[in-house]
C-alpha cells in the first residue's frame, strides 16, 4: 500500500477530530496557563527518560480512562471508604502504572496556575509526549477537557476490551466509543510496547495436554517457555508483549501476529477475518502508514465522551473528586 493509502487509512479519524467543538482546541491554555503544556511534557520526559517502560504505562492509562465514561480522568480517582470500588480497583486496572507521574505533573501545574488545568488533559498530553519520547508518532492534542466525579469498578469491567475478545467483540467494543474497525486494529498496535505477566501466556504454552497451543510459532514458544516456566514460579513475572523488540515503538507487533507470535488471543483475533488480515498486513508493511494511522486514531479516541464548558470540574488532586 502506498503512503497516500496510509493517509486515507486515517482520513476519517482526522475529519472527525476537525469537527470537535471549539471548546476543545490546542490553544485552550495559552492565556489561562501559559507554559502548562510544556510543564506536562517536562515531567513526562523526565519520567520516561528515567524508565522507558513508563511510556507504555502512560499510554495504557489514557486508553483505560477513555474507554470508561470517556476521557474524564475517572480512572485516576481513588476508592472512597464506604463507597463502591473505583475504576482503578477493577481487576483489568490493577496493573495500571503512571499514576505518580500524573500526580507530579498536576502538582507542578497547581503551583503554576491553580485550579485551571484538568487531570483529563494531563492524561491526554502525557500519552502523546511519552510515545513521542521513545520514537513513536506524534499527534495533535486538543485541550479543554474537564474532569468527572464518578468512578466505578463495575463500569471498567463492562467497558474495557478483554484479552480474550473475538474480532467481532473488539469491533463492537470500539464502536461504542466512536471508533471504527480500522481504528481498533491500529490502536491494538499500542501492544508494540509494554509488559504483561507470564500468567497471560502460560495457558497457551501449557494446555491441558501439556503442550503449547498448536497455532503458536515454535520460535515464539521456545522463547516464552524459557521466560515463563511451568513451575508456578513465574506467574507474576513480567515479559514484553512484543517479544522481538520490546519497548520500541515499531511495526513488529503486527509482524508478530502474522507469524503467530502474539501473546493475547485478542491479538490473534486480528487476523481471524480477511478484513483484519488485510489491515494487519498493511500496517506491518509500513512504519509510515502505522504511525500516521495511529496518530489519527489516538486523536479520535482522546475526544471520546469528553466533558467541556461547564460540565464536570477541575480537580485540584487527580485522585480525589
- For the annotated catalytic residues, the residue numbers are 64
Q: Flag whether 65 is marked binding.
A: yes
Known binding residue 129? Answer is no
d(CA 244, CA 219): 11
Distance CA 147, CA 96 (A): 19
70 is in an annotated binding site: yes
Rounded Cα distance, 131 and 136, in Å: 5
Asked whether the CA dihedral 67, 71, 75, 77 is positive or negative, the reply is negative
114 known ligand binder:
no
Cell of 203: 495457558
CB 82 within 8 A of CB 284: no
Angle between the N-to-C axes of helices 274-284 and 287-301, in degrees from 0 to 180, rounded to the nearest 10 = 120
Q: Does 242 show up as a binding residue in the annotation?
A: yes
**Helix (H) and strand (E) counts for the chain?**
15, 2
What phi and psi, each to the nearest 5 degrees, are found at residue 196? -140, 170
Binding residue per annotation — 213?
Answer: no
- DSSP codes joined into one string, 255-299: HHHHTT--SSHHHHGGGSSHHHHHHHHHHHT-HHHHHHHHHHHHH
The Cα-based distances of 295 to 37, 187, 256, 312, 316 in angstroms read: 18, 9, 21, 27, 29
74 is in an annotated binding site: yes
DSSP three-state, residue 196: strand
Fill in the DSSP letter of residue 77.
P
Binding-site entries: 65, 68, 70, 72, 74, 87, 161, 191-192, 242, 245, 250
Binding-site entries for Ca(2+): 65, 68, 70, 72, 74, 87, 192, 242, 245, 250
Binding-site entries for heme b: 191
Amino acid at each position: 500500500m502506498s503512503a497516500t493509502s496510509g493517509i486515507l487509512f486515517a482520513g476519517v479519524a482526522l475529519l472527525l477530530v476537525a469537527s470537535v467543538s471549539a471548546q476543545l482546541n490546542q490553544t485552550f491554555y495559552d492565556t489561562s496557563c501559559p507554559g502548562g503544556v510544556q510543564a506536562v511534557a517536562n515531567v513526562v520526559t523526565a519520567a520516561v527518560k528515567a524508565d522507558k517502560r513508563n511510556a507504555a504505562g502512560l499510554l495504557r492509562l489514557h486508553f483505560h480512562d477513555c474507554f470508561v465514561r470517556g476521557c474524564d480522568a475517572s480512572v485516576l480517582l481513588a476508592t472512597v471508604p464506604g463507597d463502591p470500588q473505583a475504576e482503578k480497583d477493577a481487576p483489568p486496572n490493577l496493573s495500571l502504572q503512571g499514576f505518580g507521574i500524573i500526580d507530579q505533573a498536576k502538582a507542578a501545574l497547581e503551583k503554576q496556575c491553580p485550579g485551571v488545568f484538568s487531570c483529563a488533559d494531563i492524561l491526554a498530553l502525557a500519552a502523546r509526549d511519552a510515545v513521542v519520547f521513545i520514537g513513536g508518532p506524534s499527534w495533535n492534542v486538543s485541550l479543554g477537557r474537564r474532569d468527572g466525579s464518578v468512578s466505578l469498578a463495575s463500569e471498567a469491567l463492562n467497558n474495557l476490551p478483554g484479552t480474550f475478545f473475538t474480532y467481532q467483540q473488539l469491533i463492537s467494543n470500539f464502536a461504542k466509543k466512536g471508533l471504527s474497525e480500522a481504528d481498533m486494529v491500529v490502536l491494538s498496535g499500542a501492544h508494540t510496547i509494554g509488559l504483561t505477566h507470564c500468567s497471560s501466556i502460560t495457558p497457551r504454552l501449557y494446555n491441558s495436554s501439556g503442550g503449547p497451543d498448536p497455532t503458536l510459532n515454535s520460535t515464539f514458544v521456545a522463547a516464552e517457555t524459557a521466560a515463563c516456566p511451568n513451575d508456578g514460579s513465574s506467574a507474576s513475572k513480567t515479559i514484553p508483549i512484543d517479544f522481538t523488540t520490546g519497548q520500541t515503538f515499531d511495526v513488529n507487533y503486527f509482524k508478530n501476529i502474522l507469524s503467530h507470535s502474539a501473546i493475547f488471543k485478542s491479538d490473534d483475533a486480528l487476523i481471524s477475518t480477511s478484513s483484519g488480515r488485510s489491515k494487519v498486513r498493511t500496517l506491518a508493511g509500513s512504519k509510515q502508514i502505522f504511525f500516521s494511522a495511529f496518530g489519527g486514531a489516538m486523536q479520535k479516541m482522546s475526544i471520546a465522551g469528553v466533558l467541556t464548558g461547564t460540565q464536570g470540574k477541575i480537580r485540584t488532586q487527580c485522585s480525589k473528586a
